[in-house]
Structure 1
Amino acid sequence: MRLLEATEENIRRAATIVKLGGLVVYPTETVYGLGCAPHILEAAERLCKLKGRSDKPLPLICHDTEFASKIVELNPMAMRLAERFWPGPLTLVLPAKQEYSRWVTHGASTLALRVPGHPVSRELARLSGGVIVSTSANTAGAPPARTAQEAAEALGDGVNIILDGGPSPGDEPSTILDISGEHAWILRSGPVSAQEIKEVLGL
Protein backbone atom coordinates (compact mmCIF):
# COMPACT_ATOMS: atom_id res chain seq x y z
CA MET A 1 0.00 0.00 0.00
CA ARG A 2 1.24 3.47 -0.92
CA LEU A 3 -0.08 6.62 0.76
CA LEU A 4 0.39 9.53 -1.64
CA GLU A 5 -0.60 13.17 -1.76
CA ALA A 6 -3.56 13.69 -4.11
CA THR A 7 -1.63 15.54 -6.82
CA GLU A 8 -2.60 15.40 -10.49
CA GLU A 9 0.27 13.01 -11.18
CA ASN A 10 -0.75 10.68 -8.37
CA ILE A 11 -4.41 10.79 -9.41
CA ARG A 12 -3.30 9.62 -12.86
CA ARG A 13 -1.23 6.90 -11.21
CA ALA A 14 -4.23 5.77 -9.18
CA ALA A 15 -6.43 5.74 -12.30
CA THR A 16 -3.94 3.46 -14.03
CA ILE A 17 -4.11 1.09 -11.07
CA VAL A 18 -7.92 1.11 -11.25
CA LYS A 19 -7.83 0.20 -14.95
CA LEU A 20 -5.43 -2.64 -14.16
CA GLY A 21 -7.80 -4.10 -11.56
CA GLY A 22 -6.38 -2.55 -8.38
CA LEU A 23 -8.07 -0.96 -5.37
CA VAL A 24 -7.67 2.70 -4.46
CA VAL A 25 -8.77 4.97 -1.62
CA TYR A 26 -9.56 8.60 -2.34
CA PRO A 27 -11.11 11.68 -0.70
CA THR A 28 -14.69 12.76 -1.29
CA GLU A 29 -16.76 15.59 0.15
CA THR A 30 -18.41 13.13 2.55
CA VAL A 31 -15.96 10.45 3.77
CA TYR A 32 -13.00 8.67 2.16
CA GLY A 33 -14.00 6.28 -0.61
CA LEU A 34 -12.74 2.84 -1.60
CA GLY A 35 -12.93 2.14 -5.30
CA CYS A 36 -12.15 -0.13 -8.22
CA ALA A 37 -13.23 -0.67 -11.82
CA PRO A 38 -16.86 -1.89 -11.75
CA HIS A 39 -16.45 -4.01 -14.89
CA ILE A 40 -13.48 -6.04 -13.58
CA LEU A 41 -14.94 -9.03 -11.71
CA GLU A 42 -11.80 -9.83 -9.72
CA ALA A 43 -11.41 -6.23 -8.54
CA ALA A 44 -15.00 -5.96 -7.30
CA GLU A 45 -14.74 -9.35 -5.60
CA ARG A 46 -11.51 -8.34 -3.88
CA LEU A 47 -13.08 -5.09 -2.70
CA CYS A 48 -16.10 -6.87 -1.23
CA LYS A 49 -13.91 -9.36 0.60
CA LEU A 50 -11.69 -6.57 1.95
CA LYS A 51 -14.73 -4.74 3.31
CA GLY A 52 -16.17 -7.96 4.70
CA ARG A 53 -19.45 -7.58 2.87
CA SER A 54 -20.83 -9.42 -0.11
CA ASP A 55 -24.58 -9.02 0.23
CA LYS A 56 -25.13 -5.43 -0.90
CA PRO A 57 -24.77 -3.72 -4.30
CA LEU A 58 -21.82 -1.36 -4.65
CA PRO A 59 -22.41 2.36 -5.36
CA LEU A 60 -20.65 4.09 -8.24
CA ILE A 61 -19.40 7.60 -8.92
CA CYS A 62 -19.19 9.32 -12.33
CA HIS A 63 -17.31 12.43 -13.33
CA ASP A 64 -20.39 14.20 -14.70
CA THR A 65 -24.12 13.87 -15.32
CA GLU A 66 -23.70 13.29 -19.06
CA PHE A 67 -21.63 10.18 -18.39
CA ALA A 68 -24.10 9.05 -15.72
CA SER A 69 -26.84 9.10 -18.38
CA LYS A 70 -24.92 6.40 -20.27
CA ILE A 71 -25.04 4.10 -17.25
CA VAL A 72 -28.54 4.62 -15.85
CA GLU A 73 -31.94 5.86 -17.00
CA LEU A 74 -32.10 9.46 -15.83
CA ASN A 75 -35.86 9.97 -15.58
CA PRO A 76 -37.35 13.48 -15.13
CA MET A 77 -37.29 13.10 -11.34
CA ALA A 78 -33.60 12.16 -11.48
CA MET A 79 -32.76 15.10 -13.74
CA ARG A 80 -34.34 17.59 -11.34
CA LEU A 81 -32.41 16.12 -8.44
CA ALA A 82 -29.15 15.98 -10.41
CA GLU A 83 -29.49 19.61 -11.44
CA ARG A 84 -29.92 20.62 -7.80
CA PHE A 85 -27.58 18.26 -5.93
CA TRP A 86 -24.86 17.10 -8.37
CA PRO A 87 -21.98 17.38 -7.94
CA GLY A 88 -22.75 16.53 -4.34
CA PRO A 89 -23.62 13.99 -1.64
CA LEU A 90 -26.79 12.48 -3.12
CA THR A 91 -26.65 8.93 -4.49
CA LEU A 92 -29.54 7.96 -6.79
CA VAL A 93 -30.74 4.40 -7.40
CA LEU A 94 -31.95 4.13 -10.99
CA PRO A 95 -32.62 1.50 -13.69
CA ALA A 96 -29.32 0.31 -15.16
CA LYS A 97 -28.38 0.75 -18.81
CA GLN A 98 -25.09 -1.14 -18.53
CA GLU A 99 -24.23 -4.50 -17.02
CA TYR A 100 -21.52 -4.83 -14.40
CA SER A 101 -20.20 -7.77 -12.41
CA ARG A 102 -22.45 -9.57 -9.94
CA TRP A 103 -20.25 -8.21 -7.14
CA VAL A 104 -21.46 -4.72 -8.09
CA THR A 105 -25.15 -5.39 -8.77
CA HIS A 106 -25.89 -8.57 -6.76
CA GLY A 107 -28.50 -9.38 -9.36
CA ALA A 108 -30.36 -6.07 -9.15
CA SER A 109 -31.57 -4.32 -12.31
CA THR A 110 -30.63 -0.96 -10.80
CA LEU A 111 -27.43 0.92 -10.04
CA ALA A 112 -26.66 3.45 -7.31
CA LEU A 113 -24.51 6.36 -8.43
CA ARG A 114 -23.70 10.02 -7.96
CA VAL A 115 -21.42 12.75 -9.22
CA PRO A 116 -19.24 13.66 -6.21
CA GLY A 117 -18.56 17.19 -5.08
CA HIS A 118 -14.83 16.62 -4.53
CA PRO A 119 -12.50 17.42 -7.45
CA VAL A 120 -10.13 14.52 -6.68
CA SER A 121 -12.81 11.85 -6.83
CA ARG A 122 -14.34 13.34 -9.99
CA GLU A 123 -10.96 13.47 -11.73
CA LEU A 124 -10.14 9.93 -10.63
CA ALA A 125 -13.43 8.70 -12.09
CA ARG A 126 -12.81 10.60 -15.34
CA LEU A 127 -9.29 9.25 -15.78
CA SER A 128 -10.43 5.73 -14.88
CA GLY A 129 -12.88 5.63 -17.78
CA GLY A 130 -15.70 7.76 -16.40
CA VAL A 131 -16.96 5.61 -13.54
CA ILE A 132 -15.59 3.76 -10.51
CA VAL A 133 -16.97 1.95 -7.49
CA SER A 134 -17.35 4.22 -4.46
CA THR A 135 -17.99 2.65 -1.09
CA SER A 136 -16.78 3.97 2.26
CA ALA A 137 -13.14 3.17 3.08
CA ASN A 138 -13.72 0.96 6.10
CA THR A 139 -14.58 -2.62 6.95
CA ALA A 140 -18.23 -3.58 7.48
CA GLY A 141 -19.59 -2.21 10.74
CA ALA A 142 -16.63 0.11 11.41
CA PRO A 143 -16.86 3.91 11.32
CA PRO A 144 -16.11 5.48 7.91
CA ALA A 145 -12.65 6.97 7.45
CA ARG A 146 -12.44 10.78 7.41
CA THR A 147 -8.68 10.92 6.78
CA ALA A 148 -6.20 9.00 4.66
CA GLN A 149 -4.50 7.79 7.83
CA GLU A 150 -7.75 6.33 9.18
CA ALA A 151 -8.31 4.56 5.87
CA ALA A 152 -4.77 3.15 5.97
CA GLU A 153 -5.31 1.83 9.49
CA ALA A 154 -8.63 0.25 8.51
CA LEU A 155 -7.64 -1.34 5.20
CA GLY A 156 -3.84 -1.68 5.36
CA ASP A 157 -2.19 -3.57 2.53
CA GLY A 158 -5.55 -4.58 1.10
CA VAL A 159 -5.43 -1.53 -1.17
CA ASN A 160 -2.83 -0.46 -3.72
CA ILE A 161 -2.88 3.34 -3.31
CA ILE A 162 -4.40 5.80 -0.87
CA LEU A 163 -4.72 9.37 -2.15
CA ASP A 164 -4.38 11.83 0.71
CA GLY A 165 -6.52 14.90 0.15
CA GLY A 166 -6.61 16.03 3.77
CA PRO A 167 -9.50 15.52 6.20
CA SER A 168 -12.93 15.04 4.65
CA PRO A 169 -15.17 18.07 5.10
CA GLY A 170 -18.12 15.79 5.90
CA ASP A 171 -18.57 13.14 8.56
CA GLU A 172 -21.22 10.86 7.06
CA PRO A 173 -21.74 9.00 3.76
CA SER A 174 -24.03 10.36 1.06
CA THR A 175 -27.80 10.22 1.17
CA ILE A 176 -29.12 7.29 -0.91
CA LEU A 177 -32.45 7.82 -2.68
CA ASP A 178 -34.20 5.11 -4.70
CA ILE A 179 -36.15 6.62 -7.58
CA SER A 180 -36.09 3.55 -9.82
CA GLY A 181 -39.89 3.25 -9.61
CA GLU A 182 -42.85 5.58 -9.34
CA HIS A 183 -42.04 6.73 -5.82
CA ALA A 184 -38.94 8.08 -4.07
CA TRP A 185 -37.54 6.17 -1.09
CA ILE A 186 -34.67 7.23 1.14
CA LEU A 187 -32.55 4.11 1.72
CA ARG A 188 -29.91 5.91 3.78
CA SER A 189 -30.11 9.29 5.47
CA GLY A 190 -27.20 11.64 4.92
CA PRO A 191 -26.16 15.22 4.15
CA VAL A 192 -29.09 15.85 1.77
CA SER A 193 -32.24 15.90 3.89
CA ALA A 194 -35.68 14.53 3.09
CA GLN A 195 -37.04 18.07 3.22
CA GLU A 196 -34.55 19.29 0.61
CA ILE A 197 -35.49 16.38 -1.66
CA LYS A 198 -39.22 17.05 -1.22
CA GLU A 199 -38.74 20.72 -2.10
CA VAL A 200 -37.00 19.86 -5.37
CA LEU A 201 -39.61 17.25 -6.31
CA GLY A 202 -42.53 19.42 -5.23
CA LEU A 203 -43.79 16.89 -2.69
Structure 2
Amino acid sequence: MPAESGIAEAAAVLRSGGLVAFPTETVYGLGANALDARAAARIFEAKARPSFDPLISHLADAADLPGLVGAVPPAVAALVERFWPGPLTLIVDRPAVIPPIVTSGLDTMAVRVPDEPSARALIAAAGVPVAAPSANRFGQLSPTRAEHVVAGLGGAVDVVLDGGPTRCGIESTIVDARGDRPVVLRLGALPVEALVEAVGPVEIRQGSSGQPVAPGTLAAHYAPRTPLRLGAAAEEDGGRRGFLAFREPPAGGDWAAVEVLSPEGDLTAAAARLFDALHRLDATGVTEIVAEPVPEVGVGRAINDRLRRAAATWR
Protein backbone atom coordinates (compact mmCIF):
# COMPACT_ATOMS: atom_id res chain seq x y z
CA MET A 1 0.00 0.00 0.00
CA PRO A 2 1.17 3.61 -0.49
CA ALA A 3 3.44 4.71 2.34
CA GLU A 4 1.68 7.96 3.18
CA SER A 5 -1.88 6.62 3.25
CA GLY A 6 -0.99 3.35 4.97
CA ILE A 7 0.75 4.72 8.06
CA ALA A 8 -2.16 4.35 10.49
CA GLU A 9 -2.83 0.75 9.51
CA ALA A 10 0.86 -0.15 9.53
CA ALA A 11 1.36 1.46 12.94
CA ALA A 12 -1.47 -0.64 14.34
CA VAL A 13 0.19 -3.76 12.93
CA LEU A 14 3.45 -2.84 14.66
CA ARG A 15 1.71 -2.26 17.98
CA SER A 16 0.02 -5.67 17.71
CA GLY A 17 3.31 -7.51 17.16
CA GLY A 18 3.25 -7.68 13.36
CA LEU A 19 5.88 -7.04 10.70
CA VAL A 20 5.86 -3.98 8.45
CA ALA A 21 8.22 -3.35 5.55
CA PHE A 22 8.73 0.37 5.06
CA PRO A 23 10.96 2.73 3.08
CA THR A 24 13.81 4.67 4.62
CA GLU A 25 16.29 6.90 2.84
CA THR A 26 18.76 3.98 2.73
CA VAL A 27 16.95 0.71 1.97
CA TYR A 28 13.57 -0.79 2.87
CA GLY A 29 13.42 -2.00 6.46
CA LEU A 30 11.55 -4.94 7.97
CA GLY A 31 10.11 -3.43 11.12
CA ALA A 32 8.78 -4.79 14.39
CA ASN A 33 8.14 -3.33 17.83
CA ALA A 34 11.61 -3.16 19.39
CA LEU A 35 10.11 -3.49 22.88
CA ASP A 36 8.42 -6.81 22.02
CA ALA A 37 10.71 -9.86 22.05
CA ARG A 38 8.19 -12.05 20.23
CA ALA A 39 7.76 -9.47 17.48
CA ALA A 40 11.53 -9.15 17.10
CA ALA A 41 11.79 -12.93 16.86
CA ARG A 42 9.49 -12.79 13.84
CA ILE A 43 12.09 -10.64 12.05
CA PHE A 44 14.75 -13.30 12.49
CA GLU A 45 12.32 -15.99 11.33
CA ALA A 46 11.09 -14.09 8.26
CA LYS A 47 14.62 -13.25 7.11
CA ALA A 48 16.18 -16.59 8.12
CA ARG A 49 18.60 -14.33 9.99
CA PRO A 50 21.04 -15.90 12.45
CA SER A 51 20.32 -14.97 16.04
CA PHE A 52 23.86 -13.65 16.55
CA ASP A 53 23.38 -10.73 14.11
CA PRO A 54 21.94 -7.70 15.97
CA LEU A 55 19.19 -5.39 14.72
CA ILE A 56 19.07 -1.61 14.36
CA SER A 57 16.33 0.17 16.30
CA HIS A 58 14.75 3.25 14.71
CA LEU A 59 13.34 6.31 16.47
CA ALA A 60 10.98 8.98 15.21
CA ASP A 61 13.03 11.88 16.56
CA ALA A 62 16.47 12.49 18.03
CA ALA A 63 14.77 13.88 21.14
CA ASP A 64 13.52 10.35 21.86
CA LEU A 65 17.02 8.97 22.45
CA PRO A 66 17.61 10.15 26.06
CA GLY A 67 14.19 8.87 27.09
CA LEU A 68 15.12 5.44 25.77
CA VAL A 69 18.75 5.05 26.83
CA GLY A 70 19.23 7.64 29.58
CA ALA A 71 22.38 9.75 29.59
CA VAL A 72 23.89 10.11 26.12
CA PRO A 73 27.71 10.33 25.91
CA PRO A 74 28.87 13.76 24.65
CA ALA A 75 30.52 12.36 21.51
CA VAL A 76 27.36 10.46 20.62
CA ALA A 77 25.25 13.55 21.28
CA ALA A 78 27.47 15.59 18.95
CA LEU A 79 26.94 13.12 16.11
CA VAL A 80 23.21 13.04 16.79
CA GLU A 81 23.09 16.82 16.60
CA ARG A 82 25.06 16.90 13.36
CA PHE A 83 23.67 13.94 11.40
CA TRP A 84 20.20 12.94 12.65
CA PRO A 85 17.87 12.39 10.98
CA GLY A 86 20.12 10.67 8.48
CA PRO A 87 21.96 7.52 7.40
CA LEU A 88 24.04 7.25 10.57
CA THR A 89 23.52 4.45 13.10
CA LEU A 90 25.10 4.92 16.52
CA ILE A 91 26.07 2.36 19.14
CA VAL A 92 24.78 3.04 22.65
CA ASP A 93 24.39 1.00 25.82
CA ARG A 94 21.33 -1.24 25.68
CA PRO A 95 18.59 -0.11 28.07
CA ALA A 96 16.72 -2.78 30.03
CA VAL A 97 13.52 -2.05 28.11
CA ILE A 98 15.05 -3.40 24.88
CA PRO A 99 14.87 -7.23 24.87
CA PRO A 100 18.22 -9.01 24.43
CA ILE A 101 17.00 -10.67 21.21
CA VAL A 102 17.06 -7.26 19.50
CA THR A 103 20.77 -6.85 20.26
CA SER A 104 21.63 -10.55 19.89
CA GLY A 105 22.54 -10.64 23.57
CA LEU A 106 24.98 -7.74 23.38
CA ASP A 107 24.99 -5.08 26.08
CA THR A 108 24.95 -2.44 23.35
CA MET A 109 22.32 -1.49 20.80
CA ALA A 110 22.39 0.14 17.37
CA VAL A 111 19.99 3.05 16.88
CA ARG A 112 19.20 5.77 14.36
CA VAL A 113 16.58 8.26 13.16
CA PRO A 114 15.83 7.79 9.45
CA ASP A 115 15.75 10.75 7.08
CA GLU A 116 12.52 9.66 5.43
CA PRO A 117 9.33 11.46 6.50
CA SER A 118 7.03 8.46 6.05
CA ALA A 119 9.34 6.27 8.15
CA ARG A 120 9.42 8.79 10.99
CA ALA A 121 5.65 9.23 10.76
CA LEU A 122 5.20 5.46 11.00
CA ILE A 123 7.43 5.18 14.06
CA ALA A 124 5.73 8.14 15.73
CA ALA A 125 2.28 6.70 15.02
CA ALA A 126 3.31 3.31 16.41
CA GLY A 127 4.57 4.99 19.57
CA VAL A 128 7.44 2.53 20.00
CA PRO A 129 11.01 2.21 18.73
CA VAL A 130 11.05 0.02 15.64
CA ALA A 131 13.68 -2.68 15.15
CA ALA A 132 14.32 -2.98 11.43
CA PRO A 133 17.04 -4.67 9.42
CA SER A 134 16.82 -4.65 5.63
CA ALA A 135 13.63 -6.26 4.34
CA ASN A 136 15.18 -9.20 2.52
CA ARG A 137 16.33 -12.74 3.10
CA PHE A 138 19.51 -12.77 5.13
CA GLY A 139 22.70 -12.28 3.13
CA GLN A 140 20.92 -11.39 -0.10
CA LEU A 141 20.64 -8.12 -2.03
CA SER A 142 19.12 -5.29 -0.04
CA PRO A 143 15.73 -4.00 -1.24
CA THR A 144 15.49 -0.44 -2.54
CA ARG A 145 11.96 -0.80 -3.95
CA ALA A 146 8.78 -2.29 -2.52
CA GLU A 147 8.73 -4.89 -5.30
CA HIS A 148 12.12 -6.16 -4.11
CA VAL A 149 10.55 -6.77 -0.69
CA VAL A 150 7.56 -8.61 -2.10
CA ALA A 151 9.74 -10.77 -4.34
CA GLY A 152 12.10 -11.65 -1.51
CA LEU A 153 9.85 -12.06 1.51
CA GLY A 154 6.36 -12.47 0.08
CA GLY A 155 3.76 -13.45 2.66
CA ALA A 156 6.18 -13.29 5.59
CA VAL A 157 5.39 -9.56 5.92
CA ASP A 158 2.03 -8.33 7.21
CA VAL A 159 2.16 -4.92 5.49
CA VAL A 160 4.45 -3.49 2.80
CA LEU A 161 4.47 0.30 2.54
CA ASP A 162 5.47 1.46 -0.93
CA GLY A 163 7.38 4.73 -0.94
CA GLY A 164 9.06 4.27 -4.31
CA PRO A 165 12.81 3.86 -4.75
CA THR A 166 14.97 4.79 -1.78
CA ARG A 167 17.15 7.88 -2.05
CA CYS A 168 20.54 6.66 -0.81
CA GLY A 169 20.35 3.07 -2.02
CA ILE A 170 22.77 1.59 0.50
CA GLU A 171 22.61 1.04 4.23
CA SER A 172 23.53 3.46 7.00
CA THR A 173 27.03 4.02 8.29
CA ILE A 174 27.47 2.52 11.77
CA VAL A 175 29.67 4.30 14.32
CA ASP A 176 30.61 3.58 17.93
CA ALA A 177 31.49 6.95 19.45
CA ARG A 178 31.52 5.93 23.11
CA GLY A 179 35.31 5.71 23.35
CA ASP A 180 38.19 8.12 22.90
CA ARG A 181 37.92 8.06 19.09
CA PRO A 182 34.85 7.24 16.97
CA VAL A 183 35.03 3.81 15.35
CA VAL A 184 33.33 3.12 12.02
CA LEU A 185 31.95 -0.41 12.24
CA ARG A 186 30.21 -0.41 8.85
CA LEU A 187 30.76 1.85 5.87
CA GLY A 188 27.54 3.25 4.51
CA ALA A 189 25.64 6.12 2.97
CA LEU A 190 27.25 8.73 5.23
CA PRO A 191 30.83 9.07 3.93
CA VAL A 192 33.77 8.76 6.29
CA GLU A 193 34.95 12.16 5.08
CA ALA A 194 31.80 13.77 6.49
CA LEU A 195 32.46 12.17 9.86
CA VAL A 196 36.07 13.34 9.89
CA GLU A 197 35.01 16.87 9.02
CA ALA A 198 32.55 16.85 11.91
CA VAL A 199 34.49 15.12 14.69
CA GLY A 200 38.09 14.69 13.55
CA PRO A 201 39.98 11.42 12.97
CA VAL A 202 38.02 8.17 13.09
CA GLU A 203 39.05 4.54 13.13
CA ILE A 204 37.64 2.13 10.55
CA ARG A 205 37.19 -1.34 12.00
CA GLN A 206 34.94 -3.59 9.95
CA GLY A 207 34.07 -7.18 10.75
CA SER A 208 35.40 -9.46 13.45
CA SER A 209 36.28 -13.08 14.00
CA GLY A 210 33.65 -13.44 16.71
CA GLN A 211 30.06 -12.29 17.12
CA PRO A 212 29.25 -9.18 15.07
CA VAL A 213 28.96 -6.04 17.19
CA ALA A 214 27.00 -4.36 14.41
CA PRO A 215 24.78 -5.63 11.59
CA GLY A 216 25.99 -5.99 8.02
CA THR A 217 29.60 -6.68 8.92
CA LEU A 218 29.94 -10.36 8.02
CA ALA A 219 32.59 -11.06 5.38
CA ALA A 220 30.03 -12.54 2.97
CA HIS A 221 26.82 -10.54 2.60
CA TYR A 222 24.67 -8.40 0.24
CA ALA A 223 24.84 -11.07 -2.47
CA PRO A 224 22.74 -11.70 -5.58
CA ARG A 225 21.60 -15.24 -6.38
CA THR A 226 23.95 -15.12 -9.37
CA PRO A 227 27.68 -15.58 -8.67
CA LEU A 228 29.46 -12.21 -8.62
CA ARG A 229 33.12 -11.34 -8.96
CA LEU A 230 34.96 -8.05 -8.85
CA GLY A 231 37.06 -7.02 -11.81
CA ALA A 232 37.38 -5.09 -15.04
CA ALA A 233 35.89 -6.24 -18.33
CA ALA A 234 38.15 -8.56 -20.34
CA GLU A 235 38.05 -9.62 -23.98
CA GLU A 236 37.22 -13.20 -23.08
CA ASP A 237 34.27 -12.12 -20.96
CA GLY A 238 30.73 -11.94 -22.23
CA GLY A 239 28.46 -14.73 -23.36
CA ARG A 240 25.93 -15.33 -20.60
CA ARG A 241 27.68 -12.94 -18.23
CA GLY A 242 26.38 -9.62 -16.99
CA PHE A 243 28.48 -6.53 -16.29
CA LEU A 244 27.99 -3.85 -13.64
CA ALA A 245 29.82 -0.73 -14.82
CA PHE A 246 30.51 2.50 -12.98
CA ARG A 247 30.51 5.12 -15.78
CA GLU A 248 30.27 3.45 -19.18
CA PRO A 249 29.56 0.08 -20.78
CA PRO A 250 32.55 -2.17 -21.45
CA ALA A 251 34.21 -1.69 -24.84
CA GLY A 252 34.81 -5.38 -25.46
CA GLY A 253 33.06 -8.65 -24.81
CA ASP A 254 29.67 -9.93 -25.84
CA TRP A 255 27.77 -9.26 -22.62
CA ALA A 256 24.27 -10.62 -22.10
CA ALA A 257 23.31 -7.69 -19.86
CA VAL A 258 24.97 -4.45 -18.78
CA GLU A 259 24.02 -1.96 -16.06
CA VAL A 260 25.74 1.43 -15.71
CA LEU A 261 25.59 3.02 -12.27
CA SER A 262 26.30 6.65 -13.23
CA PRO A 263 27.28 7.88 -16.70
CA GLU A 264 28.25 11.18 -15.03
CA GLY A 265 30.61 9.45 -12.60
CA ASP A 266 28.54 10.60 -9.61
CA LEU A 267 29.20 8.27 -6.68
CA THR A 268 26.06 9.34 -4.82
CA ALA A 269 23.95 8.46 -7.85
CA ALA A 270 25.88 5.21 -8.25
CA ALA A 271 25.12 4.24 -4.65
CA ALA A 272 21.44 5.00 -5.16
CA ARG A 273 21.33 2.63 -8.14
CA LEU A 274 23.65 -0.11 -6.85
CA PHE A 275 21.23 -2.69 -5.45
CA ASP A 276 18.52 -1.88 -7.98
CA ALA A 277 20.97 -2.56 -10.81
CA LEU A 278 22.11 -5.80 -9.19
CA HIS A 279 18.49 -6.91 -8.77
CA ARG A 280 17.95 -6.34 -12.50
CA LEU A 281 21.11 -8.23 -13.48
CA ASP A 282 20.13 -11.05 -11.14
CA ALA A 283 16.79 -11.37 -12.93
CA THR A 284 18.27 -11.72 -16.43
CA GLY A 285 19.41 -15.31 -16.04
CA VAL A 286 23.11 -14.57 -16.58
CA THR A 287 25.55 -17.16 -15.28
CA GLU A 288 27.87 -14.63 -13.63
CA ILE A 289 27.95 -10.93 -12.80
CA VAL A 290 31.24 -9.07 -13.20
CA ALA A 291 31.25 -5.88 -11.13
CA GLU A 292 33.63 -3.00 -11.79
CA PRO A 293 34.95 -1.33 -8.62
CA VAL A 294 34.30 2.40 -8.24
CA PRO A 295 36.75 5.05 -6.97
CA GLU A 296 37.60 4.38 -3.32
CA VAL A 297 36.53 7.78 -2.04
CA GLY A 298 33.41 9.15 -0.36
CA VAL A 299 30.44 6.84 -0.64
CA GLY A 300 32.49 4.85 -3.16
CA ARG A 301 34.10 3.14 -0.16
CA ALA A 302 30.71 1.75 0.84
CA ILE A 303 29.85 0.70 -2.72
CA ASN A 304 33.09 -1.28 -2.99
CA ASP A 305 32.50 -2.72 0.48
CA ARG A 306 29.14 -4.11 -0.63
CA LEU A 307 30.61 -5.52 -3.83
CA ARG A 308 33.51 -7.17 -1.98
CA ARG A 309 31.15 -8.82 0.51
CA ALA A 310 28.85 -9.96 -2.31
CA ALA A 311 31.81 -11.47 -4.17
CA ALA A 312 33.02 -13.22 -1.00
CA THR A 313 29.78 -15.19 -0.92
CA TRP A 314 30.83 -16.96 -4.11
CA ARG A 315 34.47 -17.72 -3.34
SS where residue 39 of structure 2 aligns? helix
2:11 is equivalent to residue 11 of structure 1 = no
- Which position in structure 2 is the counterpart of 1:71? 68
Aligned-residue RMSD, C-alpha: 1.3
Matched residues in 2 for 1:114 and 1:168: separation?
Answer: 17
- Look up the match of 1:145: 143
Q: Which one has a larger percent helix, Structure 1 or Structure 2?
A: 1
Q: 1:40 is matched by which residue type in structure 2?
A: D
- 1:11-68, Cα deviation, whole Å (9 max, x unpaired): 0100000000000000000111110001212111111111111211110110111111
Secondary structure in 1 aligned to 2:89?
strand
CA contact (8 A) 2:23 2:118 kept: yes
Paired positions, count: 199
CA contact (8 A) 2:91 2:177 kept: yes
What SS does the corresponding residue of 1:25 show, helix, strand or coil? strand
Give unpaired runs (5+ residues) of structure 1.
none
Partner of 2:194: 196
**Normalization by structure 1: what TM-score?**
0.93
Distance 1:40 1:96 in 2: 15
Q: Which runs of 5+ in 2 are unaligned?
A: 202-315
Instruction: Tell me what 1:123 maps to.
Output: 121
Question: Which of these residues, 181, 184, 197, is aligned with residue 183 of structure 1?
Answer: 181
Q: Which has the higher contact order (CA 8 A, sep 6+)?
A: 1
Aligned equivalent of 1:46:
42
Which structure 2 residues correspond to residues 101-112 of structure 1 after superposition, within 5 A?
101-112=99-110
CA distance, structure 1, for counterparts of residue 30 and residue 90 of structure 2 = 18
The structure with the larger Rg is 2
Shift of 1:189: 0.3
What is the rounded CA distance, in whole Å, between the counterparts of 2:10 and 2:77 in structure 1?
30
Aligned with residue 157 of structure 2, among 156, 159, 171:
159
Match of 1:37 among 22, 33, 39: 33
User: Residue 5 of structure 1 aligns to a residue in which SS?
Assistant: coil
Q: Does 1:62 align with 2:59?
A: yes
2:227 equivalent in structure 1: none
Partners in 1 of 2:62 and 2:96 — Cα distance?
15
Structure 1 residues 97-144: Cα deviation after superposition (integer angstroms, max 9, x where no partner): 343222202221111111110001101111111410121111111110
Find the residue that maps to 2:63 and give its secondary structure: helix
Report if the CA contact (8 A) 2:75-2:178 is conserved: no
Once residues 17 and 130 of structure 1 are traced to their aligned partners in structure 2, the CA distance between those partners, rounded to angstroms, is 12
Query: Is the partner of 1:74 in helix, strand or coil?
Result: coil
- Percent of pairs with identical residues: 37
Letter in 2 for 1:68: L
